[in-house]
């Protein structure tokens, strides 16, 4: 794991410096502290999924470019943030199909798997799979999230509030609030997870 953390940090540093960004500039773009970015680049911290997504957004690359899962940091040319903001129009012209059998996890940790369902754009859509008794780490990052429970039973903790979701229930909240997902059922829980990258997160309370 330490080796993987070091390699991830090196890729992050390579992408950032290739774009001529200092730590503070990336910090402003991604909403992640300069100290945290520095620790990740030095291999001292393995970033949470939320932090990884925020850094990828700030750099204008896919999370896989940083993770290095069959994609090196140089295989996806780091582009300006504006390229990412306009990516939805290219998706309309060039549909992308991914069969369920071909879907690979973007990230796995402690019984939690994250599957990317769409090309990266203004809104990311993912499927989260939580094994029995598993939970995500507490996290906070820029944006707004909506979680829709597709199967199982999940408890979502947002700051000091707890929301028990059954199949079909949804919860929308500011990603800037500390949040955590817990599988409280007896089967694998599956969640449709939508993350909107914007600066309006502070305007949202969990509803």
What would the pLDDT profile of 151-177 be if each residue is shown by its tens digit? 999 999 999 999 999 999 999 998 888
Asked if residue 85 has pLDDT above 60, the reply is no
Count of residues making up the chain: 207
CA distance 197 to 143: 5
CB 112 within 8 A of CB 136: yes
Beta bridge partners of 156: 163, 181
Closest CA to 54 of 79, 77, 36: 36
What's the predicted TM-score (pTM) here? 0.58
> What is the tens place of the pLDDT at every residue in 24-51?
999 988 888 899 999 999 988 888 777 8
The pLDDT of 122-133, averaged and rounded, is 84
CA distance 170 to 161: 15
Strand segments, DSSP code E, in the chain are 107-109, 112-116, 123-130, 144-151, 154-158, 161-165, 170-174, 179-183, 189-196
pLDDT value at position 62? 75
Closest CA to 195 of 108, 133, 122, 107: 122
CB 77 within 8 A of CB 14: no
Q: What's the alpha-carbon Rg for the chain, to the nearest Å?
A: 17
CA angle 178, 184, 109 (to 5 degrees): 60
């Amino acid at each position: 794991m330490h080796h993987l953390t070091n390699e991830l940090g090196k890729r992050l540093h390579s992408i950032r410096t290739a774009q001529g960004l200092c730590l503070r500039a990336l910090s402003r773009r991604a909403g992640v502290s300069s100290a945290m970015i520095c620790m990740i680049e030095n291999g001292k911290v393995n970033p949470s999924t939320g932090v990884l997504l925020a850094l990828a957004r700030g750099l204008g690359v896919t999370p896989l470019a940083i993770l290095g899962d069959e994609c090196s940091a140089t295989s996806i040319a780091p582009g300006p943030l504006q390229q990412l903001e306009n990516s939805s129009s290219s998706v309309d012209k060039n549909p992308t199909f991914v069969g369920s059998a071909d879907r690979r996890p973007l990230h796995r940790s402690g019984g939690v798997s994250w599957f990317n369902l769409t090309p990266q754009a203004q809104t990311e859509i993912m499927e989260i799979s939580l094994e029995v008794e598993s939970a995500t780490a507490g996290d906070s990052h820029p944006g707004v999230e909506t979680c829709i429970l597709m199967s199982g039973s999940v408890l979502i903790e947002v700051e000091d509030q707890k929301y028990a979701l059954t199949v079909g229930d949804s919860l929308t909240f500011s990603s800037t609030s500390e949040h955590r997902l817990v599988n409280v059922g007896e089967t694998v829980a599956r969640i449709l997870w939508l993350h909107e990258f914007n600066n309006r997160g502070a305007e949202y309370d969990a509803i």
